[in-house]
Amino acid sequence: MWIVDLPPFLPFFIGAIIALLLPPKLRPVFMLLIPVWGGLNLFFTHSLSQGVNWQLMGFTLELMNVDKLSVMFGYLFHIAAFLALLFALHVKDPLQQIASLLYAGSALGAVFSGDLLSLFLFWELLALTSVWLVLARRTDRATRAAMRYLLLQVLSGVLLLAGALLHYRDTGSLSFDHIGLSSVASWLLFIAFGIKAAFPGLHTWLTDAYPEATATGTVFLSAFTTKVAIFALARCFAGTELLIYIGAAMTCFPIFYAVIENDLRKVLAYSLINQLGFMVCGIGIGTALALNGAVAHAFNDVIFKGLLFMTMGAVLHRVGHVLGSDLGGLHKTMPRTTMFCIVGAASISAFPLFSGFVSKSMVMAALIEQGHDILWLMLLFASAGVFHHAGIKIPFFAFFAHDSGLRPKEAPLNMQLAMFGAAVLCIAIGSNPQWLYQLLPWENSYVPYDLTHTLTQLQLLFFSALAFVWLNKQGMYPPELRSVNLDMEWFYRRLLPATATRVRGVVSTLWCGLRDWVMDHWHAMPQMSPSSSYSAAQLTRRMAAVLAILLLLSYLSLP
């Protein structure tokens, strides 16, 4: 039988090798079958799996640890891979095609890892495979962003490995299970996960690299890396109170940057951090309701955020840019893409009958249950903010706003089919939340469509829309400007290079001054002659001192 009990990453890795050998015309269709094969393999065999182990340097790597949490993320990643591959069906670039398969497989390998070393291997593969989706844009900006992205991703892997080894020394175990913040090792793991989860201050790789990826590559990127980090936090640090405050901060600070950002894919990158904040907050609360809310929202976010990135990818594909200042009026020739964007916007804004409504509210309800009233207000503010920048700004400035005069063709058929599939899932999950709830790892009795919650959310959305209209009419809403906005990345993209240039200038000046001083003294030395009163010993000491200074300066000038 063609369905066998394989670790979920293997179909993608095997498929990548086969795809590389296929003719270019057959490769995209074959690639589309891989998540179907992998999904069926997972569905029929996960309950029978006995685990897959691999011996490496005296350690036993557990490559298939199956529980409800990993199975839920496994289904999610297969759905995301299928939709993203369908969206990229027209792409003929083998670099993107093979990298996307290996990237999806690495994400599946990570969520089914049973030990920290296995997790480390797939953690690093996530970085090494995903960076090619940025490099494939083949622009100078994309290349520089990719290098910065890779640096932080590799740093996360180094911290993970260091934390795993210290944890093994302290406990004698490498089990990928609940750890909590109790040691140096746990803090290293916490920071490693935090980098990939885009904690405040560690988030710049996301807003820097994602907008520079290819039109299709960003769809893959939005689905896997950050969700693997959410999975790891839920696995190891559920109930860690610090995560509540980190998550609350993550929901709020991106709003201010997203409102003033002109690049609409960068707006979505900030919006992604905002949504991750809800998940991190739920993991920190640690109750069954909060954890279910966190992973349910991760499931929904992959779909509706992927849908929004698809719509902007379609615009980028047809127009060549996604600058809000230079778009508008696209609904006239891209009506279906416009409708799909509105569905994604309604979902991320948590409109009733759309997917975000049935998962975000679980985290909010858990906050109230645990008495975090102030944090609940912060998340309420964040919910209104995301409606402004993702629910209204994205579709309004891209497709309506002023008429830019652009009349591009509708998106290619494969892109439309992928967007249609994601839109159907957004509405289906929002209308029938029990389909999602039955996959949740913890016991769940939450009912999203009660009168209080529904009316509260509708009021929030109504007054947020009213505020946007009023600010826009009064000319007080931040205009779309052709500019580059930096946040924390200013330190390493502006401050550090400027400081390095200044230090290099000072060092160069000192070097030249010292060199001139040494040469002056060298030439001032008396010449040795039979009648000279200058002793050979004195000359030797002076020459030795000069040579020592020259050697020291040469050493300091080494890179």
Instruction: Please give the average pLDDT of every successive group of 10 residues along the chain, which has 559 residues.
Output: 72 94 92 94 73 70 88 96 96 94 97 94 96 95 94 96 95 92 95 96 93 96 96 96 96 90 93 96 96 97 97 96 90 96 95 93 92 92 87 90 88 97 97 94 90 85 80 68 66 72 79 73 54 54 65 55
Write down the pLDDT at residue 533: 47
Domain layout of the chain by residue ranges:
1-170+182-189+198-227, 238-488, 499-524+537-556
**DSSP single-letter state for residue 393:** I
Q: Interior CA angle at 27 toward 25 and 28, to 5°?
A: 90
Q: Interior CA angle at 433 toward 428 and 439, to 5°?
A: 105
d(C-alpha 402, C-alpha 137), whole Å? 29
Name 223's Cβ contacts closer than 8 Å, sequence gap at least 6.
Answer: 77, 80, 81, 84, 107, 302, 306
d(C-alpha 270, C-alpha 250), whole Å? 10
φ, ψ dihedrals at 55, nearest 5°: -85, 125
Write down the pLDDT at residue 1: 42
d(C-alpha 26, C-alpha 6), whole Å? 25
Write down the pLDDT at residue 530: 47
**Long-range pairs of 122-127 with CB within 8 A, sequence gap ≥ 24:** 122/9, 123/156, 123/157, 123/160, 123/192, 123/196, 123/228, 124/154, 124/157, 126/153, 126/196, 126/224, 126/225, 126/228, 127/153, 127/154, 127/156, 127/157
Buried b (16+ CB within 10 A) or exposed e, 262-295: bbbbbbbbbbbbbbbbbbbbbbbbbebbbbbbbb
Q: Which two tokens stand for residue 140?
A: 């100078």
Q: How many CA atoms lie within 13 A of 226 on its CB side?
A: 36
d(C-alpha 387, C-alpha 350), whole Å? 8
Q: What is the pTM of this model?
A: 0.86
Which amino acid type is present at position 253? Answer: F
Write down the pLDDT at residue 413: 96
Spatial contact of 433 and 352, defined as CB atoms under 8 Å apart: no
Write down the H helix ranges in 182-263.
184-196, 204-209, 217-223, 225-236, 242-260
Q: How many CA atoms lie within 13 A of 443 on its CB side?
A: 0
Answer positive or negative: Cα dihedral of 365, 288, 422, 128.
Answer: positive
The string of DSSP letters for 247-279 reads HHHHHHHHHHHHHH--BHHHHHHHHHHHHHHHH
Write down the pLDDT at residue 227: 97
d(C-alpha 327, C-alpha 262), whole Å? 10
Q: Are strands 59-62 and 53-56 parallel, antiparallel or unpaired?
A: antiparallel
Query: E-strand spans in 290-332?
Result: none
Q: Which two tokens stand for residue 128?
A: 């090494």
d(C-alpha 341, C-alpha 464), whole Å? 19
